[in-house]
Amino acid sequence: MRAARSGRGSRALAAALAERRILVVCGSGGVGKTTTAAALALQAALEGRRVLACTIDPARRLATSLGLAALGGRPRALDLSGLEPGARGTLWAMTLDTRRTFDALVEKHASSDAARRRILENRFYQQVSSALAGSHEYMAMEKLLELAADERFDLVVLDTPPTRHALDFLEAPARLMGFLDTSVLRWFLRPYFVAGRLTLKVATRTGAFALDLADRVLGLQFLQDLSEFFLAFEGMYEGFKQRAERVHELLRGEDSGFVLVAGPARATLDEALYFYRRLREKDMPFVGLVVNRVHPDPLAETAPAPRGTADLDPDLARGLLRLMEDQSRVARRERRGIGRLAAEVAGRLVVVPELEADVHDLRGLREVGQMMLGGGGSRPRRKRPAELQAQGRGR
């Protein structure tokens, strides 16, 4: 596993940090995804790039990771001088405010003032845009396009919402495109759904059938609100669709990359593997897998054989041995799981040991970043990132 830490996985991460323009950091909740994203962003900044770390997690964890009370919806430059005097690069941080992004989108693209008001005042919109699951992913996509085009940044590191199914994020554009597909829209935009015209007789039998079913299942009021909502967006669809396609293209391109993050527990490793396979299926650029918080095996330490028997109270000695056996069992449990994954991802895996303390400041983030790139921290430094950059892309 030590080999993995400074091997292909680290080289692939370092190359991506040096060259790519977008890194999407994905994983299930609670695996240290936000910390990983922030640590990677910081590493790139310390190497001289202008980097934006963007979290879309409404729990605002990046703020905690960066030692800030609250991050606004606008990129904010962080002071790196305390960390490394004369740091060449810059690190910006922000959180994605779903509601504000949605509002801004409407402001920018609505066809007229009346349309803009109709949307912003629509009851459905007011709930949908902020409260409901799924809208975060849509908005992250929109924001990503905007940020990718922002010339202040060389690299955008995007943290993704914690999902049980980490793929939700990846599939949001496809879902959006499916939803905006003309046949679906045509159905919703049928005139009989338009406000006030609900009682009109329905022209076709199929139409009557569909309407009847929809009424029984969802209720006409729901559909009417929904169709009003969609009608209000009229004229914006083409733009939505185009942007969704552009995001898809952007994410598949050479300048983008996906970093998967997992913990050592079996459930999160299984999810990472599933996610990895889906990335491959969709021909998305995989950079590497980071497995965080891996426990050391105290019985596998390869120190020179000690001389002489330690003089110890027998109870304490027994307690210590039991503890070591327990910790070793956990380490072996984790290693089995990681080993299964390593083969599948062709060794592009980085193992980050459990840290002495929680990471919640830049210094801690730097240490994590150095571990991922195969040096620094409490571990012997193996290769400097600068050397790694010279080795070319890790794809």
Partner 1 sequence: MLLDDLLDRRLVILSGKGGTGKSVVGAALALAAAERGRRVLLAEIDAPLEASRYLGAAPAGSRDTEVRPGLSVVNLDPAAVMDEYVRHAVRVELLARKLLDSPIYRRFFAAAPGLPELMVLGKIMVLEEARAGRFSSRPRYDLIVVDAPATGHGLSLLKVPLAASRAVPVGPVGHHARRVLALLQDAERTALVLVAVPEEMAAVEARELHRAAVEELGITPRALVLNECHERRFTREQEAEIRRLAAAGASGRLAQGVGLRAALSAARRHLRRRKLTQFYLTQLRRSLPLPIVTLPYLFDEDIGPSSIERLARRLEAA
Residues β-bridged to residue 50: 90
Which residues in 266-295 contact partner 1 (CB under 8 A)?
266-268, 270
CB distance 385 to 47 below 8 Å: yes
Of 231, 238, 230, the closest CA to residue 109 belongs to: 238
CB of 388 to partner 1, least distance (A): 29
Of 175, 169, 178, 167, the closest CA to residue 281 belongs to: 167
Stated as kind and residue range, the H or E segment containing 220 is: helix 220-232
77 binds partner 1 (CB under 8 A): no
Give the x-and-dash track for 348-387 against partner 1 (CB under 8 A): --------xxx-x---------------------------
**Cβ nearer to partner 1, comparing 6 with 135:** 135
**Cβ nearer to partner 1, comparing 299 with 386:** 299
**Cβ nearer to partner 1, comparing 279 with 331:** 331
Which residues in 107-136 contact partner 1 (CB under 8 A)?
123-124, 126-128, 131-136
Q: Say how many CA atoms lie within 13 Å of 191 toward its Cβ.
A: 6
Q: Which of 305, 314, 343, 390 binds partner 1 (CB under 8 A)?
A: 305
CB distance 368 to 35 below 8 Å: yes
**Cβ nearer to partner 1, comparing 89 with 337:** 337
CB of 196 to partner 1, least distance (A): 15
205 binds partner 1 (CB under 8 A): no
195 binds partner 1 (CB under 8 A): no
Which residues in 49-68 contact partner 1 (CB under 8 A)?
57-59, 61, 64
**Amino acid (one-letter) located at 215:** D
Of 237, 144, 139, 122, the closest CA to residue 188 belongs to: 237
Which residues in 22-41 contact partner 1 (CB under 8 A)?
28-31, 34
Distance CA 316, CA 321 (A): 9
Of 141, 156, 339, 147, the closest CA to residue 259 belongs to: 156
**Cβ nearer to partner 1, comparing 30 with 72:** 30
Stretch that binds partner 1, among 38-46, 76-84, 252-260, 301-309 (CB under 8 A): 301-309
Instruction: Please report, for residues 56, 139, 179, the alpha-carbon distance to residue 240 in angstroms, rounded to integers and kept in the order given.
Output: 20, 11, 11
Helix (H, G, I), strand (E, B) or coil at 173: helix
Distance CA 100, CA 286 (A): 31
314 binds partner 1 (CB under 8 A): no
Stretch that binds partner 1, among 16-24, 109-117, 304-312, 371-379 (CB under 8 A): 304-312
**Cβ nearer to partner 1, comparing 126 with 391:** 126
Distance CA 312, CA 389 (A): 50
Instruction: Residue 197: count other Cβ atoms within 10 Å of its Cβ.
Output: 11
CB distance 140 to 251 below 8 Å: no
Q: Which of 199, 216, 314, 390 binds partner 1 (CB under 8 A)?
A: 216
161 binds partner 1 (CB under 8 A): yes
**Cβ nearer to partner 1, comparing 79 with 212:** 212
324 binds partner 1 (CB under 8 A): yes
